[in-house]
Each structure stands twice: as structure tokens, then as C-alpha cells.
A and B are shown apart, each in its own frame.
Chain A
Amino acid sequence: MNVAKRTFDAVIVGAGGAGLRAALQLSEAGLKTAVLSKVFPTRSHTVAAQGGVAASLGNSTEDHWHWHMYDTVKGSDWLGDQDAIEFMVRKANEVVIELEHYGMPFDRTDSGKIYQRPFGGHSMNYGKSPVMRSCAAADRTGHAMLHALYQRNVRAHTQFFVEWMALDLIRDADGNVLGVTALELETGEVSIFHARATIFATGGSGRIFYSSTNAFTNTGDGLGMAARAGIPLEDMEFWQFHPTGVAGAGVLITEGVRGEGGILRNASGERFMERYAPNLKDLASRDVVSRSMVTEINEGHGCGPDKDHVMLDITHLSPEVIMKRLPGIRDISIRFAGVDPIKAPIPVVPTCHYQMGGIPTNYKGQVVTPKDGNPNAPAPGFYAAGECACASVHGANRLGTNSLLDLLVFGKSAGESVVADFKSGNLSLKPLPADAAERSLARLARLESQKDGNAVADVRLSMQRTMQKHAGVFRFKDLLKEGVTQILEVAESARSTYVRDKSRVWNTARQEALELDNMIEVAKATMVSAQARKESRGAHVRDDAPDTPEHPNGRDDQNWLKHTLWFSADNHLEYKPVHLKPMSADVEPIALAKRTY
């Protein structure tokens, strides 16, 4: 196959919030920039973010960036790097106001300032009382943000390659990153995008779980490409779950349903939350509710033929209340669960929502890997931002509204780093190795010549079920151990996926096979990292690491206050220290403490 070569100053993979923010920085600095996206930019998953973006503007209540830093470090269960967190919270006002100037329609106060609302986990005075810190555009914050950034990029003449799927990262023998190979869906042609700088902004990988709130596009393409090219993945055991997604579909049922009186029941109809949280019952915190649900399912009290979910019951509410206060939920339940919640309970299950780990970066957006004793040596020419990256600001658990902030701050920061490295002469166009496209062409040739084999949908389902059962919201020693064996078997079966359609253009079946290769890397990283971490911390909660006086919440700082690094080639793990010191010498670090709310 002929491989065309295109040359740019920078190539960005992904056109969600992080990719577009990075692209803007480069295009406005005059760099020749290509942005590759599988789907039209405004169909990126950033659009689904409803909540808001955190910034200590102090428009609605008094606020301070150090309070925001405290909330973020505490939210991360102290696994977040405090230098990166300081950088992010101090940059928050700047990136939000920039966005306002780009035309983002934020909600306003009467005096015309950006209106800010309270959000779970946001506090003033280091946890003393709630603060109003979240800047939102109604319940469409991500949507408004992405459209504002896209328009701005059009103005800055960013060159988009829409409906191109990046296949593999290109590195030379010295480890320099030289660009990517990519497939144009319309022609089936493979091209090399040769660049001085490569930025990954490919978003999350939530589709590795059976129950996920993520759109189909979130297949972890950047993580898969990085892992295959020898870049480790960091802290992949940490995934945020929401307790009530519709079983089998993943669509969220908001907390508001339990607020209106919704009750969780097991197969025998018992209101089981009375046993786990006698006071708050169904309104206990997300993690408590999720763990209780999983315990019920694991003990055989789940509902349905596979006993794999529980029920959310609002049949005791009057139809008028349901129609008036929860109309959207009724529609979703009828459409995706096939039940009218006025007449029957809704099947629900804890559902994967957000990936805290990713490609390791520093606060400048440079990808870092261990080299010659330095755990954080920059990989020349390689940058990453947004959900695909691990800076690490979310640590073991993300604070609400910090995801949109993350992609703005680190999208911009990665862009600024590329511009600075470009201007200082640190980014030269290094020669491509002769086999630059070899790996990608071999993957495509394999799919083309594969005669029988495993159906992509079957392998994907095995992966998703394995992840859900063995590395879900509540984790068990034996299940994790079995999970490692099983996910490696699934990975083996993914090596012989078969697609019947061998056509070259718009071959969506082939697309899905290529995406599965990426998801498999993420799934292996998650399972192996989770099995190894013998403590509970943030979103990683193990049955065999319970809350004790010696280890509050099951957290073991003496042995586990460290970042995991997973390497694909031989499935091995390494660890590196958490940055407990802020970026600035005069900033007070947030001292280790028990995480309670």
C-alpha cells in the first residue's frame, strides 16, 4: 500500500475541548497545525458535560484558589500531584475569562458577571462551608464550550482532518515522537502525519466497561497508540462510577430521582440501603450506594435472569409527581429499560463515568516516561491533555467540574509548551524511520487477510463484561486475580478478530476492530494496575482493604502513596512518587489527612 506523507509543525489527535484549546494556541502562534478527528469536532464527547467549569473567580461568594487546591487534593485522596494542581487552579480564572471573550454564553449575575453555583466537594476555608465556584452555561456547559472553541479555531485557520482515524504513534530508535499514521475513512488511504510536535487529546476510554455513560466514540485511541509505542499508562486503576445507570444501556438516572423518594430494591424487593446506611439510606453518598449495590449483586440478590442489577423504585410516587418532576427520567426509562417507572421499577447498575488515569504528563502537557533514573523524563516531541492524559490533577478521584477545567488549562498549556519549544529550536523535524508505517499497515493487512476468527462485537462484549465484573466500582482480591487471567485471554482473542466486510472506504466494521485494539490496551492496564494496588484510595475500593484505625478508609500511605505505571510490552508495573510539593515555594502544601465529607 502506498503511504502518502504530510508534514506539519504540529499534529493534534482529537478535536474535543482539549484538542481544540491546544490547536488554538498553535494556530494563533502561526504554527502549521493539523487536527485529526474521527468524528466532526462538535460531535466530541465534551458536548455531554453538563455540570460546569470550576474557577475561584469569587463572583457569587468569596473564594480563593488555595481553597480550590485543597478541595482538589482532598478529592484526589492525595494521589494528585500538587504542582500540577496548583498550576491548574491558579490558571482557572484566566482560561475561563478567555473563554468568555471567545463568546461562551455563561450564565450571569444581575450585575453581568459570570454566575457561579455550588457543586459537591467545593468548599471555602478548607472544607468549612460550601462555596459557589462552578461557572456554567445552563446545563449545556460542555456543548457551549466546544462550539466557542471550534468557531475560534475556524477563525484562526486551524486545518482539520475530519473523519480521519489516527492508527499509531511514530517513534524513532531514540524514542523521539515524530507524528502519527492515520486512516482517511472516506478513501481508506493511510497517511503519515510527520510533525515536530504531536499532541494527543483523544479523551476517555469508558467503553471498556459493560455499563458506561460514555458515548461510543470513547475508545481510548490515544492510550492504545501510546501503549503500543512503549509509553506507559499511569494510574489506570482509578475510574469514577455513577451509582445509577440504566442496566444494559448506561444512560444516567440522576441523583434527583432518589431525592424525590426513589428507593433501591434487591431481587426480593428489600430496601437494602437500610442495612448499609441506616440514616441516609438511599441518599447516602455515591460511593456508599454503589458499593452496597455491588455487594447485593455479588451475594446473589441481584435482579433479572443474570441477577446482575438492582431496581430503582418510584412506583409509590403518584403519577402526577413523576410526570411533573421527572418527565425526562420517565422517557429514558421507557426508551432504554422498556419499563414505565409509574408502573414498574427501573433496572440500574453502577456505571463507569470518567477515567482519572492516562498518558503520564507534567503540568506543561509534556508526556513523561522513566529514563535513566528520572521517573518524569519528557518524551521529545510528545504532549497530551484532557481525559486521555494524567497530569495528575485528579489522582484517585476527580472533583466535579474539574474535568472541563483540566482540558482548558492543560490544552492551553500543552499548546504553549509546543510554541515555546518550537521557538527555542528544541523541536526539529527529525527524519522518519524506514518502517514508520509498518505497524499500522500490518494491523490493516491482518484484518484484510483474516479468514475466520472472532467477531469484534463478541470480543468487545467479553472485555466489557470482564471489566464490569472484575474491576468495577467495588473490588475483591479473588475477582481481581481471576480478572487478570481473563482479560489476558480476551486480549489474546482480540488478536484474531475477523470482519466480513473487506471494503476500503467507510468500513465501520473495520473501524470498530481498530478501536477494539485500543480498548484492549486500556482494559489490560486497568485490571493489572487494580490487582496490584493492595489498598483502597479514592475510586479504587477493595473489600480486603477496609476502613480501620490504622488505615482510615483503607488507605495505606506508607506503601501506596505512589503513581502506578503500566507497560504494555510485558505487562509489568513500575511506580513513581506523588508530587506532594506545590509548584511555588511559598505555597503551603495540603498535608495528608483522612478524606471525609
Chain B
Amino acid sequence: MAIERGKVRWQCRRSLLELDLVLARFLEKHFDRLNDEQVADFEDLLRCDDYDLWAMVNGGRDCEVDRWQEMVTRLRQC
């Protein structure tokens, strides 16, 4: 089944302003150029709890899941 990109976009609405801002930059900069597999990895990463996700993005915590690595690296630069 094709990935619903609009759905993934909506998953970027979070409880923390910090994450909203970083994810908004990611959407602007990278999202339209991701292939389906990358979008699926990104969607999987977005299932994380907000504080866990922020800890990974802000560099305080290592990313321990291989399939998230590429997206976490990009988010850290946003």
C-alpha cells in the first residue's frame, strides 16, 4: 500500500514546541525529496514518545534503531 504522505506530515504535530519547530524545518527541507522507504522510516520514528524523540534530536541520547539513523541525523541538522 502506498504511503500516505499527508498522514505522515500530520504526525509531525507534537506536544513540545521544540519538536514542532524542528519537524517543520525537516518537512520544508527534506520531506518532498524522500523516497517511500525513507518516508516509512520517518513514520516509524515519529511513533516515539515526544521526550525520547527530542532527546535523540537534541543529541542527548544515541539513536539505537538502525532504520531511524538517517532521519535522526537529518533532524539533528534542522
Interface residues of A (CB under 8 A from B): 38-39, 42-48, 140, 143, 163, 185-186, 212-217, 249-251, 328, 331-332, 335-336, 503, 505-508, 511
CB distance from B17 to the nearest CB of A (A): 5
CB atoms of B6 and A506 under 8 A apart: yes
Show 13 A/B contacts (Cβ-Cβ < 8 Å), sorted by A.
A143-B50, A143-B51, A212-B17, A215-B20, A216-B24, A217-B14, A328-B58, A505-B6, A506-B9, A507-B6, A508-B9, A508-B10, A511-B10
* Chain A: minimal CB distance from B44 (Å): 15
Which residue on chain A has the smallest CB distance to residue B59?
A331
Residues in B with CB closer than 8 Å to A503 are 6
Q: Which residues of B contact A (CB under 8 A)?
A: 4-7, 9-10, 13-22, 24, 49-51, 58-59
Residues on B with C-beta less than 8 A from A328 are 58
Distance of A338 from chain B, by nearest CB (Å) = 12
**What is the CB-to-nearest-CB distance from B49 to chain A, in angstroms, rounded to a whole number?**
7
Structural contact, B50 and A185, CB atoms closer than 8 A = no
Q: Say yes or no: A43 contacts B17, CB within 8 Å.
A: no
Query: CB distance B58 to A331 under 8 Å?
Result: yes
Nearest Cβ on chain B to A401's Cβ, whole angstroms: 19
A246 to chain B, nearest CB (A): 10
The answer to whether B6 and A48 have CB atoms under 8 Å apart is: no
B18 cross-chain contacts in A, Cβ below 8 A? 251, 332, 336
Establish whether residues A48 and B15, one from each chain, have CB atoms under 8 Å apart when the complex forms: yes
For A511, list chain B residues within 8 Å (CB). Answer: 10
Which residues of the other chain, A, contact B19 by a CB distance below 8 angstroms? 215
Could you say which residues of chain B place their CB within 8 Å of the CB of A140? 51
Apart from A42-B15, A215-B17, A217-B14, what are 11 other A-B pairs with CB-CB below 8 Å?
A42-B50, A47-B16, A47-B50, A185-B7, A186-B7, A216-B24, A249-B21, A251-B18, A331-B58, A506-B6, A508-B9
Given that A48-B16, A215-B17 are contacting pairs, would A42 and B10 also be in contact in the complex, using a CB cutoff of 8 Å?
no
Bound-state Cα–Cα, A45 to B16, Å: 7
Tell me the bound Cα distance from A511 to B7 in angstroms.
Answer: 12
Contact A506 B10 (CB under 8 A): yes
Interface pair B14/A43, CB less than 8 Å apart: yes
Contact A44 B10 (CB under 8 A): no
A residues in contact with B7, CB < 8 Å: 185-186, 506
Bound-state CA distance A508–B20 (Å) is 14
In Å, the complex CA distance between A44 and B14 comes to 7
The 4 closest A-B pairs by CB, nearest first: A506-B6, A47-B15, A216-B20, A506-B7
Alpha-carbon separation in the docked complex, A332 to B22 (Å):
11
Q: Given contacts A43-B14, A44-B15, A45-B15, is CB(A251)–CB(B50) below 8 Å? A: no
Considering only CB atoms, which chain A residue lies closest to B19 in the complex? A215
In the bound complex, what is the Cα–Cα distance between A48 and B7 (angstroms)?
23
Docked-complex contact A38 and B13, CB < 8 angstroms: yes
For A212, list chain B residues within 8 Å (CB). Answer: 17
For residue A331, which residues in chain B have a CB less than 8 angstroms away from its CB?
A: 58-59
